[in-house]
Amino acid sequence: MKKRKLAILLLLVACIGLTTAFMTISKNNDMAKPTEGKQPPFMELVNLENIATFTVQNANGVFDFRKKDGLLWLVNDESSLDNKAEEIASILAKMEVKRKVTKPNLAAFGLQDAKTEVRITTKEGKEIALFVGNETPTKEGYYVKKAEDDAVYIVSSAVAKMVHFSMDTSSMERTIFPVSLVNIKKIEYVSKSQQFTLQRYTDKRDQNFSDYYLDYPFKTKPQVDIAHPDLPAFLDFVNAAVPISETSTSADFGFQDPNLDVLIQTIDGHEKRVIVGNTIAEDSNRYYVRFNSSEKVYELQIEQPDKIFQFNPVKLAIQAPVYAFITKVKKLELERDGKKYSINMENPEAYLINGKKVETQVVKDLFLSLLELKADTDMGEQASGAVGQNQLSVSVTYTDGDVTTTNYQDYDEQFYSITQSGDTDFVIAKDKFKRVFELLGKVDQSIK
């Protein structure tokens, strides 16, 4: 009987002990019910749209975040690699609570002397300061608290990117920013086989097909065909020029005679220079690359190197005799085989050729055929060239008063040379003129 009572007593003691242990563990952790997916109370009025500025101070330094022109997040007035600034702003604005710790141990959680501090200023002028502590032992998230409040929350592990944020402004960090035809000011391109300079017009010309022209190597400075697929493909390469890793090898990198040296300038003052040297291995599409003026060497994967390194500017040149839409043309004057055609374009309902009204569609078709007279190739060193008998002259007067004159002269059996304003850069296949000459024949019939 005594043994039975003793067994019961021991069982009760064990139960009390387990209960006490459980309560002690609960007291130490003292977690409230999960509130996953919600923002901490002090961040409820903060979102990506109303953050004006914020500062992250961590073991790597102090980083001031602000938006330029309300669009692009900058860090210490620099754009950041792979849009890290935008990513950090988004993490901050969308901070999610995992749990609340009701009786925290600030020292153990890394919040007594926090190594990461974040200060936010909203557009309404509200200021919030918060500390980010250690990662939880279970890797569930990080401990976070408001500076002047003792309440501690465990938030998602995404904040780790704030804890470890850094910028290497001495190397390539400043080179990663979106490049598009919206913000390009100038491209200087030099490869082993091609060299050209693409430039934005200083003043926007509304009658132009394009806001860009080729400043070099062509003396005629033709407009750029922004619809040509080679141009967006090249810009995709520039935007994707993010290195795989910094190289640890010692080799002939090939920067003395690079495969490509391209400099991009944007209208908001950014510059990005990419220098592509030798391949890392034979039959490889991995290349040694440097950015801006940095001496650091990286490895870069280029999927279609031939297309990038042999980017032919002739393909971009709009070397047609007309460079504007039909509504921007006041008068066309053509001369062929001693015959002259003066086409008044001011009234689209009644086009006049040599003072006589002609069928509207004939004039429109003739205009479209002139747009198709695009150069086939440049003349290169032969441009000081030899020009033969003139086969067609096209003079265009635009509504803004600008006048251009283009002459097509015999070059050889297959090509005409193209001369504009006294300069000859390109040649064009003679068979492209078949439609133009057919339509001039129709015009002859209309004005007899």
pLDDT (0 to 100) of residue 246: 62
Residues 311 and 186 in one domain: yes
Q: How far apart are CA 103 and CA 407, in angstroms?
A: 87
Give the pLDDT band of residue 261 (cuts 50, 70, 90).
Answer: very high
Q: Is residue 394 domain-shared with residue 341, that is, in the same domain?
A: yes
CB of 45 within 8 A of CB of 126?
yes
- What is the spatial distance between Cα 366 and Cα 378, in angstroms, rounded to a whole number? 25
Within-domain flag for 20:
no
What's the length of the chain?
448
Question: Residue 438's domain spans which residues?
Answer: 319-446
Mean pLDDT of 419-429: 88
Q: Quick one: pLDDT band at residue 382, thresholds 50, 70, 90? A: very low
Cβ-contact 178, 80 below 8 angstroms: no
Q: Are residues 218 and 232 in the same domain?
A: yes
Residue 22 lies in a domain: no
* 3-class SS letters over 255-313: CCCCCEEEEEEECCCCEEEEEEEEECCCCCCEEEEEECCCCCCEEEECCCHHHHHCCCH
Are both 289 and 360 inside the same structural domain?
no
pLDDT of residue 168: 54
Judge whether residue 191 has pLDDT over 90. yes
Residues 99 and 177 in one domain: no
Say whether both 195 and 107 belong to one domain.
Answer: no
The model's confidence at residue 263, banded by pLDDT at 50, 70 and 90, is very high
Q: Domain with 358 in it: what CATH number? A: 3.30.1490
- Which residue among 316, 351, 386 closes a domain? 316
Closest alpha carbon to 146 in 117, 104, 122: 117
Q: What are phi and psi of 242, to 5 degrees?
A: -115, 120
pLDDT tens-digit map of 298-354? 888 888 888 899 988 988 888 888 878 888 899 999 999 999 999 999 988 889 999
Q: Are 186 and 200 in contact (CB under 8 A)?
A: yes
pLDDT of 222 strictly over 80:
yes
Please name the residue that has the structure tokens 């297309």: 307
Domain contains 209:
yes
Q: Among 99, 129, 163, where does a domain finish? A: 163
Query: Does residue 97 or residue 35 have the better pLDDT?
Result: 97
190 and 310 part of one domain: yes
Q: Would you say 197 and 186 are in contact if contact means Cβ atoms under 8 Å apart?
A: yes
Q: What angle do CA 381, 383, 386 make, to 5 degrees?
A: 115
Q: How many domains does the chain have?
A: 3
Q: Once rounded to an integer, what is the mean pLDDT over residues 410-436? A: 90
Buried b / exposed e over 325-349, threshold 16 CB at 10 Å, is eeebbbbbebbbeeeebebbbeeee
Angle at 207 between CA 203 and CA 213, to 5 degrees: 55
Q: What is the pTM of this model?
A: 0.57
| Whether residue 341 sits in one domain with residue 427 | yes
Is residue 248 very low, low, confident or very high in pLDDT (cuts 50, 70, 90)? Answer: low
pLDDT at 174 over 70: no
Same domain membership, residue 403 and residue 292: no
Q: Which residue has the higher pLDDT, 188 or 292?
A: 188
Q: Does residue 183 sit within a domain?
A: yes
Higher pLDDT, 114 or 248: 114
Same domain, 387 and 294: no
Residue 34 lies in a domain: no
Question: In one letter, which amino acid is 423?
Answer: D
Query: Is 133 part of any domain?
Result: yes
Say which residues have a Cβ less than 8 Å from residue 393's Cβ, sequence separation at least 6: 333, 334, 335, 336, 405, 406, 407, 408
Return the closest-CA partner of residue 29 out of 136, 157, 145.
Answer: 136
Are residue 299 and residue 221 in the same domain, yes or no?
A: yes
Mean pLDDT across 15-25: 45
Rounded mean pLDDT of the chain?
80
**Residues in CB range of 234: below 8 A, 6 or more apart:** 308, 311
Residue after which a domain boundary falls, among 263, 285, 316: 316
Count other Cβ atoms within 10 Å, centred on residue 253. 19
209 and 325 part of one domain: no
Distance in angstroms (rounded) separating the CA atoms of residues 97 and 373: 64
Q: Is residue 283 part of a domain?
A: yes
What's the confidence (pLDDT) of residue 408? 94
Do the domain assignments include residue 332?
Answer: yes
